[in-house]
Amino acid sequence: MLIDNIGTLVTNDPELGTLHDAAILFEDGKVAWVGTKIPQGTSGKRLDAGGRAVIPGFVDSHGHLVFAGDRAEEFAARMEGRPYTAGGIKTTVAATRAASTEALRANFDRLVAEALRSGTTTVETKSGYGLTVLDERRSLELAHPLQDRTFLGAHVVPPEHTADDYVHLVKGEMLDACAPHARWIDVFCEDGAFDGEQTRAILTAGIAKGLTPRVHANQLAHGPGVQIAVELGAASADHCTHTTDADVDALANSDTVATLLPGAEFSTRAQYPDARRLIDAGVTVALAADCNPGSSYTTNIPFCIAIAVREMRMTPDEAVRAATLGGAQALRRTDIGHLAPGARADAVVLEAPSHIHLAYRPGVPLVRSVFKDGRYMG
């Protein structure tokens, strides 16, 4: 498949950069060639992009897609002035435990399909609404098609446990049951969830089982999450809303990506993280949707890009890059998030001449077609 007559082609490749009047060739699910002069002898299917933009598929590196029910009433109450706390998670835990595996899988599949329609070709998902050994393992197992699954038993302490007992369970029997079904381990390090000492103990146990950490850090208030993420070599510190200069320095001098989740601040009417400060300090930034029923019930990355540009002082170039290449970096993946030869042929054709329109035309459905592994998905 050759896509030609591309108005703007965002490759995220340091050598190729952003091309105009370009073409891209997909072969066997991968990018085979990118450029402006179509090689002689190119045959096969051809798609005329008509001057539209083509970008890498979005890499949504932070999601909570295995759950039952919703919390629309809680959202409405919050919009009337009630604050967001970590405690609301328990509502979804009760619904998730009560749901059949078939119902959970159907909801998960629905969300992955919804994300794909808005240009997301890779999603990560976490457990964290089961909080028993069996329910956590079930959450990870049913998300099996995904390469990036994260064990988040340490989402919140369920009501039937004391904090100490639960931490013991998470880093022992629950981790043993879940580690074979996950690539990552995560902890919600926050007041009302897990403190620094508990976070470090759980992540260290996960590392010993072959998992790589990522941390929900500094979302609702300043805390030790960012520093622990850097100290333990986490792939990503997620949220990073309340950070000190020392936190920003630590991130800048590490391989830990700062994953910003503006859907959460939007849906909780909270202060946005300062992306400009992080980028100017040299921190690698990713943008993700944080799809979950409590604090950010969206799968829509173009929406997050528009907020990041308007409210977090990112440029349109930076925001699109953070939602593609940045997401790939947060998942330590080199096969996605860019469109250079050898990359997976995951790409989006926009109903616009450039990627800038994603922020410039907020709320407009600009995703015209999506390719995953070189296949047309709609």
Which residue ranges make up the site for Zn ion (CB under 5 A)? 290
Q: How far is the CB of 290 from Zn ion (least distance, A)?
A: 5
Q: How far is the CB of 346 from Zn ion (least distance, A)?
A: 23
| Amino acid at position 289, single letter | A
| Amino acid at position 243, single letter | T
Q: How far is the CB of 39 from Zn ion (least distance, A)?
A: 44
Q: How far is the CB of 360 from Zn ion (least distance, A)?
A: 28
Q: How far is the CB of 230 from Zn ion (least distance, A)?
A: 19
Q: How far is the CB of 140 from Zn ion (least distance, A)?
A: 16
Determine whether 119 is exposed, middle or buried from the number of CB atoms within 10 Å of its CB (0-12, 13-18, 19+).
Answer: buried
CA-CA distance, 158 to 87, in Å (whole number)? 10
CA-CA distance, 375 to 98, in Å (whole number)? 37
Positive or negative CA dihedral for 240, 243, 247, 252?
positive
DSSP 3-state percent helix, strand, coil across the chain (nearest 5): 35, 25, 40
Q: Is residue 135 a contact partner of residue 96, using CB atoms and an 8 Å limit?
A: yes
Q: Is residue 312 a contact partner of residue 262, using CB atoms and an 8 Å limit?
A: yes
CA-CA distance, 15 to 335, in Å (whole number)? 16
* Dihedral of the alpha carbons of 32, 235, 204, 96, in degrees to the nearest 10: -80
Minimal CB distance to Zn ion: which residue?
290
Nearer to Zn ion, 192 or 282 (CB): 192
Q: How far is the CB of 300 from Zn ion (least distance, A)?
A: 16
CA-CA distance, 72 to 109, in Å (whole number)? 20
Greatest CA span in the chain, whole angstroms? 69
Q: How far is the CB of 216 from Zn ion (least distance, A)?
A: 5
Question: Nearest 5°: phi and psi at 190?
Answer: -165, 155
- Alpha carbon 281 to its chain's center: 22
Nearer to Zn ion, 331 or 345 (CB): 331
Nearer to Zn ion, 54 or 331 (CB): 331
Q: How far is the CB of 351 from Zn ion (least distance, A)?
A: 30
Question: Nearest 5°: phi and psi at 2?
Answer: -110, 125
Q: Is residue 366 a contact partner of residue 357, using CB atoms and an 8 Å limit?
A: yes
* Beta-carbon contacts of residue 37 (< 8 Å; ≥ 6 apart): none
CA-CA distance, 133 to 139, in Å (whole number)? 10
Nearer to Zn ion, 135 or 190 (CB): 190
CA-CA distance, 188 to 128, in Å (whole number)? 10
Nearer to Zn ion, 129 or 371 (CB): 129
